[in-house]
Amino acid sequence: MAKQQQAGGGKTASRVKVKQVRSAIGFNKKQALVLEGMGLRRIGHTVEMVDTPETRGMIHKVRHLVEVVD
């Protein structure tokens, strides 16, 4: 995927890759909804997201289910 540009300034938005490493079964339902909101569907699935405070908050909420990939 190509990097997306932020509005104004022409700078490219920094990205973060997130990989699901554990199942959400047996955990709080809200955590499963966070994974769904991040676009993660199954163990081993990786998504690339814009690195914002909101994204970092989502990662923090399910940090025991995901890992950040370089």
Q: Are 58 and 34 in contact (CB under 8 A)?
A: yes
- Token representation of residue 65: 């289910």
Query: Helices marked H in 1-70 — which ranges?
Result: 29-38, 53-61
Among 20, 53, 49, 50, which Cα is nearest to 35's? 20
What's the mean pLDDT in 2-8?
Answer: 57
26-37, pLDDT tens digit by residue?
999 999 999 999
DSSP letter assigned to residue 27: S
pLDDT of residue 7: 56
Chosen CATH of 23-69 out of 3.40.50.1360, 3.40.50.300, 3.10.310.10, 3.30.1390.20: 3.30.1390.20
Domain boundaries defined on the chain: 23-69
Bridge partners of residue 64, in order along the sequence = none
Range in 2-6, 58-62, 63-67 with the lowest mean pLDDT: 2-6
